[in-house]
Structure 1
Amino acid sequence: MFLAVGWFAVDCVIAAQAIGQLARLAGFPQGNALNGFALAVVVIVSILVAVYGHQTIAVFEKYGAFVFVAFCAVLGLTLLPKINWSLQPSLQGADHLAAWVLGTSVIFALVASWFSFASDYSRYLPRQLSDRGVAGWIAAGTAASMFLFGALGVLVASIDPNRGGDLIALISASAPLAVVVPFLLFIAVGEIWANYLDVYTAGLSALALNLRVRRWAAALAVGVLGGILAFFAMFVSNFKDQYTNFLLITYLWVPSWAAVMLVDMFVFRRRAGPPVLLRGRAVLAWLVGLAAAVPFVDSTLWQSPLAVNLLHNTDISGYVGAVTGAAVYLVVGRR
């Protein structure tokens, strides 16, 4: 539920920013009124799409990935001459390594935050598919897309490092108008359609908690909560910082949870049997892993003295949580 609401807010902000850039290119006056209107439209349309647009979303998700790859390829080619290949790092030594570790942590958190979404959609796969095939192709696709699109984002940010935190504005100012307009339109539509995944997962999470919620009710609840968070990120705080915080919070608790789940499935082989509402030893191992990870957190929400003074602002909380949670569950989880 946390991930569904969080990603709904993130998607709404990105879509609203894309619409705001389109409005700027069209000559509309900029300001909070325009941004607020764009955000309101995105939230309302996202809720309506989540309620009524299942078949449309299925088609869009099926073919939209190819369109997005094509847009990114064209964008990369048009911006290639402007990329600053000689840009030097602003950090050196241990600080440089710490920044690299933090970057990998954020990337891992981005992938990890979709773990539960993947399990929600695994029910649509044919039964005859092998576990290794499903896991292998998903891992390969995730790794390839994260590397290629992540590299593109880093290279585009090198055009103007001072504006690298707002890639949508940077792309709008650097790429030809014929590329920017359809790209921004696709981003806005794609983020709205992606919100359906958030609402769908929220509904399944409610069912897992024995809360029978209709799709419209789940869409409305996620829309209201996500809209409030999106408003806060756009107008009260800094979206880039809050987005990073969202990923780092995910990076704090998900790894230990995932480690416990993996130990349960592949070491203890508990794949079948009657459903259990709460497995106390697993929860205990997860909480111990979570507690062990807290002293290694480094985010704008809280910076631990250990991470700041000893680890050069490196956040390794996820790694610590995963190892600790798995180790504890290996000890206490045996029947």
Structure 2
Amino acid sequence: MSLPHAHDAAAVAEPEHVFDGRMPAASGDLRMEARGITPVPEDARYGSPGRLFTVWFAPNLTMTGVFTGTVGAALGLDFATALLAVVLGTVLGAIPTAYLGTWGSQTGAGQLPLAQLAFGRGVTLPGTLQWLSSIAWDALIGLFGGDALAQLCGLPFWVGVLLMMAAQGVLGVLGYEAIHRLQTVMTFALAASFAALAVKLLKGAQPATAATVHGADRAGAFVLTCTVALSLALSWAPYASDFSRYLPRSASRPRMFWYTLLGVAVSFVAVQALGLWGAARFTDQTARGVDDLLGGGALGAFGLLAVALAALCSNAMNDYSGSLALQTMGVRLPRPVAAALAAVLGFPLVLWMHAADTTARFQNVLLFVGYWIPAFVAIVIVDWVVRARARGGRPVDLTAETSRPQPWWPALTAFVVAFAVAVPFMSTSLYVGPVAKALHGADLAYPVAFAAALAVYAPLRARRRP
């Protein structure tokens, strides 16, 4: 019994094993992982919680995070106030990711496949959104990685992006262990490169020490900056257990939680603080700003290479989780093929973002790809807690859990209602809801969506058998 078959009984009789396949046998096994959303059996698990720090640290050291850090300054906040908003938003967004990540070792399953427990057949909707989000993130991050690679090698922008997408596609195809191993190495390399950038920045740039907005406008800018930072960290939540599903059941869950939390929070705060400090130097042409800041030459080339490699690290994870999301939707593509498809589809989106106002399109895509996540997190956590109480402390048995499928309508009802309730609270350059306007641009859509999903789903779930 395995999760992909829980909502499709006919699939059990099919001779092909699209969702199954070869698994990495141990740390360092870099052969292609063919396994899809079928849970990893306990006798095939390996690794320790410590590797969760590097897998969640390295992919966030991207210019996407740096560019996001400039938002607070662009909204008129002084450095200290904007940094406080960044720290608050990042930590709040990282907590759900760290908690959901602990489910991987208990179940051997990825995050979207596990969502079938709560959503039943309705998992197709969040699965589709996650798949589309992974492609959008390919564009958000590949925009800067491709630009850096193009500048480094003297190539046209589109060629740099094409090479970036091809490289990340290969890594996503190789799968879980290849991604973990690369992130371990890149944690040290990227930390060194961003430290060099920070040293140069401290000498060559001065942050805004006085706000240009005041009163209610300042409060609105603070909340929006906090929300943007929160959206960045929370965006990893639907990926969380994808990168812990090979850990043994005996792995310490508190250690898993803290390694993930620290990996996400420390890296995101660091790069956003860097962007905030050098907001005047980092414009739409962020990669060129890095080269100029480092003085060109060998050091500038090293900085551009680091930007490109950071994008590679992050987007490989997008393609990997995108492949699991596509299978969760019921698409019977082998996982490596699905990972390659995500990279291919990300290419035209990068070109679209680069073709006009990068700042506006970047912020809009960043917010829109995440508005669905708070409701998703609330629903799967409520379902998980109800099931945990019913187990009474016994280990998770997915065979038993999937034998008690939930109807699709309570979760989907809460999911849709939460999004609808959040719409008036959204604040983007494309749309500002009436409540957000009244709050001087403050975007409260994320906490509102989370609270609405809890309010709708918890009573409905409590009435069903565990």
TM-score, normalization: structure 1?
0.87
For residue 183 of structure 2, what is the amino acid of its counterpart?
Answer: E
Q: Does 1:294 align with 2:423?
A: yes
Q: Following the alignment from structure 2 to structure 1, what is the Cα–Cα distance between the partners of residues 408 and 348?
A: 34
Does structure 2 retain, via aligned residues, the 8 Å contact 1:19–1:184? yes
Distance 1:57 1:257, change over 3 A: closer
The answer for the alignment partner of 2:453 in structure 1 is 325
Q: Following the alignment from structure 2 to structure 1, what is the Cα–Cα distance between the partners of residues 177 and 458?
A: 44
Does structure 1 retain, via aligned residues, the 8 Å contact 2:424–2:433? yes
Q: Give the % identical residues.
A: 26
Does structure 1 retain, via aligned residues, the 8 Å contact 2:148–2:305? yes
Q: Following the alignment from structure 1 to structure 2, what is the Cα–Cα distance between the partners of residues 194 and 173?
A: 24
Aligned pair partner of 1:113 in 202, 210, 235 = 235
Q: Following the alignment from structure 1 to structure 2, what is the Cα–Cα distance between the partners of residues 7 and 233?
A: 12
Name the SS of the counterpart of 1:211 in structure 2.
coil
Q: Following the alignment from structure 2 to structure 1, what is the Cα–Cα distance between the partners of residues 183 and 176?
A: 11
The answer for the alignment partner of 1:274 in structure 2 is 401
Higher helix content, 1 or 2: 1
Q: Does 1:147 align with 2:269?
A: yes
The aligned runs of 1:307-318 (5 Å cut-off) are: 307-308=436-437, 310-318=438-446
Distance 1:171 1:317, change over 3 A: same
Q: Following the alignment from structure 1 to structure 2, what is the Cα–Cα distance between the partners of residues 89 and 169?
A: 27
Q: Deviations over 1:227-268 (max 9, x none)?
A: 121111112x33332222222113321111111222222356
The answer for the alignment partner of 1:135 in structure 2 is 257
The answer for the alignment partner of 1:250 in structure 2 is 369
Q: How many residues align?
A: 322
Q: Following the alignment from structure 1 to structure 2, what is the Cα–Cα distance between the partners of residues 261 and 75?
A: 40
Q: Following the alignment from structure 2 to structure 1, what is the Cα–Cα distance between the partners of residues 453 and 214?
A: 33
For residue 432 of structure 2, what is the amino acid of its counterpart?
Answer: Q
Aligned pair partner of 2:353 in 233, 236, 243 = 233
Aligned pair partner of 2:295 in 167, 176, 188 = 176
Q: Following the alignment from structure 1 to structure 2, what is the Cα–Cα distance between the partners of residues 304 and 287?
A: 17
Q: Does 1:3 align with 2:133?
A: yes
Q: Following the alignment from structure 1 to structure 2, what is the Cα–Cα distance between the partners of residues 316 and 325?
A: 14
Instruction: Name the stretch that deviates more: 242-251 or 313-322.
Output: 242-251
For residue 214 of structure 1, what is the amino acid of its counterpart?
Answer: P
For residue 287 of structure 1, what is the amino acid of its counterpart?
Answer: V
Q: Deviations over 1:277-316 (max 9, x none)?
A: 85321221121111110111111221223212x1101111
The answer for the alignment partner of 1:208 in structure 2 is 328
Q: Following the alignment from structure 2 to structure 1, what is the Cα–Cα distance between the partners of residues 171 and 458?
A: 44
The answer for the alignment partner of 2:145 in structure 1 is 15
Name the SS of the counterpart of 1:212 in structure 2.
coil
Q: Following the alignment from structure 1 to structure 2, what is the Cα–Cα distance between the partners of residues 154 and 312?
A: 21
The answer for the alignment partner of 1:221 in structure 2 is 341
The answer for the alignment partner of 2:187 in structure 1 is 65
Aligned pair partner of 1:194 in 314, 319, 322 = 314
Where does structure 2 lack aligned partners over 5 or more consecutive residues? 1-130, 391-395
Q: Following the alignment from structure 1 to structure 2, what is the Cα–Cα distance between the partners of residues 278 and 231?
A: 41
The answer for the alignment partner of 1:285 in structure 2 is 414
Q: Following the alignment from structure 2 to structure 1, what is the Cα–Cα distance between the partners of residues 207 and 234?
A: 31
Q: Deviations over 1:58-100 (max 9, x none)?
A: 4321110111111111221122122314542221111111111
Deviation (angstroms), 1:131? 2.3
Q: Deviations over 1:180-236 (max 9, x none)?
A: 21121122133124322122112211222332212443134212321121111112x
Q: Following the alignment from structure 2 to structure 1, what is the Cα–Cα distance between the partners of residues 417 and 208?
A: 45
Does structure 2 retain, via aligned residues, the 8 Å contact 1:94–1:312? yes
Q: Deviations over 1:114-145 (max 9, x none)?
A: 11222111112232123222122211332222
For residue 5 of structure 1, what is the amino acid of its counterpart?
Answer: I
Does structure 2 retain, via aligned residues, the 8 Å contact 1:112–1:250? no
